[in-house]
Structure 1
Amino acid sequence: MAPTAEADDITPAALTLKPGTSWQDAWQRSLAVAPEAFRDDQALNLWAAAWHADGRPLPATSPVDGTPIAGPPRLDADAARHAVRASLDQHRAWRQTPLAERKARIGATLDALTEHRELLALLLVWEIGKPWKLARADVDRAIDGVRWYLSEVDRMIDGRTPLTGPVSNIASWNYPMSVLIHAMLVQALAGNAVIAKTPTDGGLACLTLACALAAREGVPATLVSGSGGELSPALVRSPEIGCVSFVGGRDTGARVATAVADLGKRHILEQEGLNTWGIWNYSDWPTLTPLLRKTFDYAKQRCTAYPRFVVQRDAFADFLAAYLPAVRSVRFGHPLAVPDPAAPLPELDFGPLINTAKAKELDDLTTEAVSRGAVPLHRGALADGHFLPGQDTSAYLPPTTLLAPPPSSPLHHAEPFGPVDTIVLVDTEAELLAAMNASNGALVATLSTDDPDTYARLAPQIRAFKVGHGKPRSRGDRDELFGGFGNSWSGAFVGGELLVHAVTEGPTSERLPGNFPDYHLMP
Structure 2
Amino acid sequence: MAPTPARLTLKPGTAWQDAWRRSLAAAPEAFRSDRVLNLWAGRWHADGRALAATSPLDASPIVGPPRLDGPAAQQAVRAALDQHRAWRHVPLAERRARVGATLDALTGHRELLALLLVWEIGKPWRLATADVDRAIDGVRWYVENIDVMLAGRTPLPGPVSNIASWNYPMSVLVHAMLVQALAGNAVIAKTPTDGGVACLTLASALAVREGIPVTLVSGSGGELSEALVRSPEIGCVSFVGGRDTGARIATAVADLGKPHILEQEGLNTWGIWNFTDWVGLAGVIPKLFDYGKQRCTAYPRFVVQRTLFDQFLAAYLPAVRSVRAGHPLAVDDPQDPLPELDFGPLINAAKAKELSDQVAEAVDRGAVPLHRGSLSDGRFLPGQDTSAYLAPVTLLNPPPSSPLFHAEPFGPVDTIVLVDTEAELLAAMNASNGALVATLSTDDPDTFDRLAPQIRAFKVGRGKPRSRGDREELFGGYGASWRGAFVGGDLLVRAVTEGPAGERAPGNFPDYRLIP
Aligned with 2:64: secondary structure?
Answer: coil
Instruction: Report sequence identity in percent.
Output: 82
More displaced, 234-243 or 474-483?
Answer: 474-483
Are residue 290 (structure 1) and residue 283 (structure 2) matched?
A: yes
The aligned amino acid for 1:284 is: D
Are residue 484 (structure 1) and residue 477 (structure 2) matched?
A: yes
Q: Over aligned residues, Cα RMSD in angstroms?
A: 1.1
Structure 2: distance between partners of 1:205 and 1:157: 32
| Aligned 1:85-124 pairs, distance under 5 A | 85-124=78-117
Residue equivalent to 1:132: 125
Structure 2: distance between partners of 1:259 and 1:468: 34
TM-fit CA distance, 1:69: 0.4
TM-fit CA distance, 1:293: 1.2
More displaced, 485-494 or 472-481?
Answer: 472-481
Which of 379, 390, 394 is 1:397 aligned to? 390
TM-fit CA distance, 1:364: 0.4
Structure 1: distance between partners of 2:300 and 2:388: 19
Structure 2: distance between partners of 1:465 and 1:517: 16
Residue equivalent to 2:24: 31
Aligned with 1:446: secondary structure?
Answer: strand
TM-fit CA distance, 1:216: 0.5
Structure 2: distance between partners of 1:164 and 1:92: 8
Contact 1:301–1:417 (8 Å) recurs in 2: yes
TM-score after normalising by structure 2:
0.98
The aligned amino acid for 2:403 is: P
Contact 1:444–1:464 (8 Å) recurs in 2: yes
Contact 1:49–1:222 (8 Å) recurs in 2: yes
Structure 2: distance between partners of 1:268 and 1:220: 20
The runs of 5 or more residues in structure 2 that have no matched partner are none
Which of 470, 473, 485 is 2:466 aligned to? 473
Contact 1:261–1:517 (8 Å) recurs in 2: no
Structure 2: distance between partners of 1:111 and 1:481: 26
Are residue 335 (structure 1) and residue 332 (structure 2) matched?
A: no
The aligned amino acid for 1:402 is: L
Contact 2:476–2:487 (8 Å) recurs in 1: yes
Structure 1: distance between partners of 2:126 and 2:473: 25
Are residue 237 (structure 1) and residue 227 (structure 2) matched?
A: no
The runs of 5 or more residues in structure 1 that have no matched partner are 1-9
Q: Deviations over 1:110-167 (max 9, x none)?
A: 0000000000000000000000000000000000000000000000001100000000
Contact 1:295–1:306 (8 Å) recurs in 2: yes
TM-fit CA distance, 1:305: 0.1
TM-fit CA distance, 1:520: 8.6
Are residue 326 (structure 1) and residue 319 (structure 2) matched?
A: yes
The aligned amino acid for 2:124 is: P
The aligned amino acid for 2:418 is: L
TM-fit CA distance, 1:11: 9.5
Structure 1: distance between partners of 2:6 and 2:369: 33
TM-fit CA distance, 1:41: 1.3
Structure 1: distance between partners of 2:361 and 2:466: 31
Are residue 374 (structure 1) and residue 353 (structure 2) matched?
A: no
More displaced, 285-294 or 425-434?
Answer: 285-294
Structure 1: distance between partners of 2:222 and 2:443: 49
Residue equivalent to 1:3: none
Residue equivalent to 1:264: 257
Residue equivalent to 2:435: 442
Aligned with 2:416: secondary structure?
Answer: strand
Aligned with 1:323: secondary structure?
Answer: helix
Contact 1:512–1:520 (8 Å) recurs in 2: no
Which of 154, 161, 164 is 2:154 aligned to? 161
Which of 304, 312, 320 is 2:305 aligned to? 312
Residue equivalent to 1:507: 500
| Aligned 1:406-425 pairs, distance under 5 A | 406-425=399-418
TM-fit CA distance, 1:519: 3.0
Structure 1: distance between partners of 2:511 and 2:453: 23
Contact 2:191–2:219 (8 Å) recurs in 1: yes
Residue equivalent to 2:423: 430
Contact 2:4–2:376 (8 Å) recurs in 1: no
Are residue 202 (structure 1) and residue 214 (structure 2) matched?
A: no
- Describe the shift of the 1:11–1:293 C-alpha distance in structure 2 as closer, same or farther (beyond 3 A): closer
TM-fit CA distance, 1:497: 0.4
Structure 2: distance between partners of 1:441 and 1:171: 20
Structure 1: distance between partners of 2:511 and 2:70: 32
TM-score after normalising by structure 1:
0.97
The aligned amino acid for 2:259 is: R
Structure 2: distance between partners of 1:423 and 1:434: 14
Residue equivalent to 1:387: 380
Contact 2:398–2:405 (8 Å) recurs in 1: yes
